[in-house]
Amino acid sequence: MLPIYDMYINGEWVKPSSGEYFESVYPATGKAWCKVARGNEEDVNKAVEAAYDALTNPEWANTTFTERGHLLRKLGDLLAENVDEIAELETKDNGKLMREMKGQISYMPQFFYYYAGLADKIQGETLPIDKQNMFVYTKKEPIGVVAAITPWNSPLYLTFIKLAPALVAGNTIVIKPSEYTSTSLLQFMNLVEEAGFPRGVVNVVTGYGHDVGQALTTHSKVRRIAFTGGSEAARHIIRNSAENFSRLSLELGGKSPNIVFDDANLHNALMGVIAGIFGATGQSCVAGSRLFLHEDIYDEFMGMLIERTRQIVVGDPMDPKTEIGPVATEQQLETIEKYVKIGLEEGAKLVIGGKRPEHMKEGWYYEPTIFEHDEHTGCLVTEEVFGPVLSVMKFSTEEEIVQLANSTDYGLAAGIWTENIGRAHRMVDQIRSGIVWVNTYRSISPMAAIGGSGLSGYGREGGLDSIEDYLEKKTVWINTSDEQMDDPFIMR
């Protein structure tokens, strides 16, 4: 009998109103391994009402910023003590390498520690107002109920960068994880409870977008929506947010350029290229899916890249020797195959890969795949594939590569590989991207914001500034004069 996961609402484990559950499938085998509650509008209403009530519950409303920081730090400590269990659940849900998930989850407490440290640095201002006998200051208050909608590729990481600043600011939150990857977050709720967060402060409603997501993003008591996912879903959420005038941040996809100049350290660049497109089976918003090689090192680098790609071990994500695991969903595997088929029809040159691996009889696996392109055209170059598929092109000058790198509707990430510090700075200034890595790729930190522009969305998550998105600024005017007020029909 499969394990069953219920929802977490108002500090309790709650069965779905519908009585229905859906299966979560292990991508390495294509077989169901557990059942998850299928929530609906009724469940969303319960969760939002619980979150709304918690805003005025003295147990939460009267906590100081410092006290909330202590709670976050304790939560980070508990996460650090439960890495193996939570990492295994995440691997079972989305097929990422167990060694990758253990490394990622081991680092995640730093996000809670960072925002815990910022808790008592949130402050208002005294304004040098231009009027006599007026004392004016600002203060920061929680915005209210936050809705967080998270994807399947990095479920906990992309939840924590929303959850930590939301909580330290004093908000309450309702989280809708991807229907493909709900269990690690549900398990994490036990730690939220153990850390001592009051009932209703953190809630999780599992289910599908058209049921849970729609109800959550249109709810009248939701004041902020933080979304990570695809552009089509984002368009629906933007329209939904008009119903409640919620603040909105969108962290979407990308078609990121990874640029290798002729003076680069080629070994390090190779490692960065491999990490950028084949790490996490290419299922990363910041995947470096467009590789641009300077013409003088093109042949040498391509030889190195093809050789290293041949050596990549595709296999069981639980095996520590595996380097590429399965794609997270069967639908995504079919999407990758569709793009590869169209790319071949459009004239892209297949160098290596391009099919399911023959030795993996079960599960949703795809070989690391490389295409060469003569022109910056075609679906493989312009559209997000979200899989282990790399498009490679030549360039000759800085001016040319800036134009090529910016020839996209996305603007999330970019990589630059050069030993010339002046060139690095010139590229950073000219490439249109929310994140730029120089001589590294896929580095993260709680101190560094992520986000993009264009089809990559808007708003930033992580870093100091993200706290402001979870706060309202209140301006307070105090008349210090004892004089009698006269004319009420003039502004003072």
Instruction: Give which of 205, 178, 208 is closest to 189, Cα–Cα.
Output: 205
d(Cα 316, Cα 28) in Å, to the nearest integer? 6
pTM across the whole model: 0.97
Q: Is 251 a catalytic residue?
A: yes
How far from chain centre, in Å, is Cα 340? 26
Please pick, among 251, 383, 384, 461, the residue that the annotation labels catalytic.
Answer: 251
- Could you say which DSSP state residue 4 is in? E
Q: Is 375 a catalytic residue?
A: no
Phi-psi region of 146 (alpha: psi -120 to 50; beta: other; left: phi over 0): beta
Write the CB contacts of 270 (distance below 8 Å, at least 6 apart in sequence).
301, 304, 305, 308
Give me the catalytic one of 34, 49, 100, 285: 285
Quick one: 107 exposed, middle or buried, by C-beta within 10 A (0-12, 13-18, 19+)?
A: middle
From residue 357, alpha-carbon distances to 99, 122, 137, 482 in Å are 21, 52, 64, 83
Per-residue pLDDT of the chain (492 residues; tens, 9 = 90+): 999 999 999 999 999 999 999 999 999 999 999 999 999 999 999 999 999 999 999 999 999 999 999 999 999 999 999 999 999 999 999 999 999 999 999 999 999 999 999 999 999 999 999 999 999 999 999 999 999 999 999 999 999 999 999 999 999 999 999 999 999 999 999 999 999 999 999 999 999 999 999 999 999 999 999 999 999 999 999 999 998 999 999 999 999 999 999 999 999 999 999 999 999 999 999 999 999 999 999 999 999 999 999 999 999 999 999 999 999 999 999 999 999 999 999 999 999 999 999 999 999 999 999 999 999 999 999 999 999 999 999 999 999 999 999 999 999 999 999 999 999 999 999 999 999 999 999 999 999 999 999 999 999 999 998 999 999 999 999 999 999 988 999 887
User: What is the number of other CB atoms lying within 10 angstroms of the CB of residue 366?
Assistant: 25
The pLDDT value recorded for residue 254 is 97
Confidence at residue 53, expressed as pLDDT on a 0 to 100 scale: 98
Domains, in order of start, for the chain: 4-252+456-476 (3.40.605.10), 257-438 (3.40.309.10)
| 93 in Cβ contact with 325 (< 8 Å) | no
Torsion of CA 134, 139, 142, 148, to 10 degrees: 110
pLDDT at 66: 96
pLDDT at 485: 87
